[in-house]
Amino acid sequence: MDKVYIRGLEVQTVIGIYDWERKAPQKLVIDLEMAWSIAEAAASDNIEAALNYKSVSQRIIAHVEASRCLLIETLAEQIATLVRNEFSVPWLQLELSKPGAVGEAQSVGVKIERGEAV
Ligand SMILES: Nc1nc2c(c(=O)[nH]1)N=C([C@H](O)[C@@H](O)CO)CN2
């Protein structure tokens, strides 16, 4: 299975369950792997046949910056749904990390897989 990936996408947004978290944006980091055959893009050398990681990144950034979720679970599901629906991605694995959340930890977060690889 071929994949197109986005690694270490950093986005600032308001997220969290505590009052102090509702007052200022925090950094989230997104790692995304998307099933996508590269055969057509490779044969044509045409961006129209590719899953454009720049377009996917920009769409995710716009959504996350505007979001105001309490839980990272909620936001992870939203990102997975929009990527699958808007970019016709059949399967993806998404890791959403909140590096500032637990002082003693390097990072915390969730990792989900959605869809089926074709
Ligand atoms: N499974 C989760 N646990 C926690 C979350 C979350 O979104 N999912 N959020 C928090 C707080 O907002 C935390 O990030 C502040 O340090 C705690 N646990």
Answering whether pTM is above 0.95, one says yes
Q: Which residues line ligand 1 (CB under 6 A)?
A: 16-18, 21, 71-73, 98, 101-102
> Which pair of structure tokens corresponds to residue 28?
């989230």
ipTM score of complex: 0.96
- pLDDT (tens digit, 9 = 90+) per residue, 89-108? 999 999 999 998 999 999 99
> Which pair of structure tokens corresponds to residue 3?
């994949």
Average pLDDT over residues 48-57: 98
Q: How far is CA 73 from CA 7, 45, 49, 112, in A?
A: 19, 37, 32, 9
Average pLDDT over residues 44-66: 98
How far away, in angstroms, is 71 Cα from ligand 1 center? 6
Give the torsion through C-alpha atoms of 39, 44, 50, 52, to 10 deg.
150
Average pLDDT over residues 26-48: 98
Q: How would residue 70 be classed by pLDDT, with cut points 50, 70 and 90?
A: very high
